[in-house]
Amino acid sequence: MPDDRPPATFRLLVVPGVTMDKWSRVWAERQPEVALEVVPVEAAHAAALLTGEAEAGLLRLPVDQDDFHAIPLYTEATVVVVPREHMVAAADEVTLADLADETLLLPEDDVIGWPDAAAMPGTVAAHRPATTAEAVELVAAEVGVLVVPQSLARLHHRRDLTYRVLTDAPASGVGLVWSRDRYTELVEEMIGVVRGRTANSTRGRAPTPAEPRTAARKPAEGANRGKATPGRTGGVRRGGGTPPKRRGR
């Protein structure tokens, strides 16, 4: 007889910079019999969802909508990482124009959605570091500056470096992603966890965008005067009319 019980483990891909502590606790409370296995991956490894290596992932957006469903969760500020003594560090926040004279380090695992090379600040370094971690080392060596989501700047924090928000740089979004061909009840459970639904919330079989609520419009004063209200009798009578007959004693 086939065993229809859910798998004992739910594998969730998580890209660098995403913090899972709260969601892991909620999952453990709601699914004590299904272990949550968090699998760290690089930002470009969403294809693992197509092969069944994981049920879902907390990944950088956007993803290929032909292959994946995605629920956007939050958008991060973009920052520039510089040496602590850099002139940029004197400001609270900066713009791309402030980096016009800088050398930009563009790692191979870059997750900033630059629309094209012309949108990038300064001059892009000829050598592309293999990883963000390697690029951070080069910033410390004063080879150039690095533009990343704020969570990655925190992840690779060093005492000799700092970062400032870039107010006009492309932002980076994070979302829950799963394969269109692999939607399961446990994926729905994870959707509820990351969306903050309570354990007793009504769940649907597939995520659908919420329909906008339209508030009932209150009729203008006097709009219903002189109109009969179906199904209603009694109330104050206005004007003439035939008085009710009295019953005999």
Q: Which domains does the chain have, with CATH numbers?
A: 9-75+173-195 (3.40.190.10), 78-170 (3.40.190.10)
- Mean pLDDT, to the nearest integer, of 92-115? 96
The predicted model scores a pTM of 0.75
Please give the average per-residue pLDDT across 228-237, as a whole number: 42
Confidence of residue 237 (pLDDT cuts 50, 70, 90): very low
**Average pLDDT of the residues in 171-187:** 94
**pLDDT value of residue 53:** 87
pLDDT at 214 over 50: no
pLDDT of amino acid 5: 63
pLDDT at 98 over 70: yes
The pLDDT assigned to 45 comes to 74
Count other Cβ atoms within 10 Å, centred on residue 18: 21
Does the pLDDT of residue 123 top 90, yes or no? yes
* Under 8 Å between Cβ of 62 and 112: no
Instruction: Using alpha carbons, list the distances in angstroms from residue 175 to 14, 48, 80.
Output: 10, 16, 23
Note the pLDDT of residue 44.
Answer: 74
Provide the pLDDT for residue 3: 59
Give the pLDDT mean for 145-173: 97
Phi, psi of 25 (to 5 degrees): -65, -45
Question: 249 pLDDT band (50/70/90 cuts)?
Answer: very low
pLDDT of amino acid 51: 79
Q: Between these two residues, 208 and 124, which has the higher pLDDT value?
A: 124
Q: Which residue has the higher pLDDT, 113 or 51?
A: 113
What pLDDT score was predicted for residue 153? 98
Mean pLDDT (whole number) for 21-44: 93
pLDDT at 23: 96
pLDDT value at position 49?
81
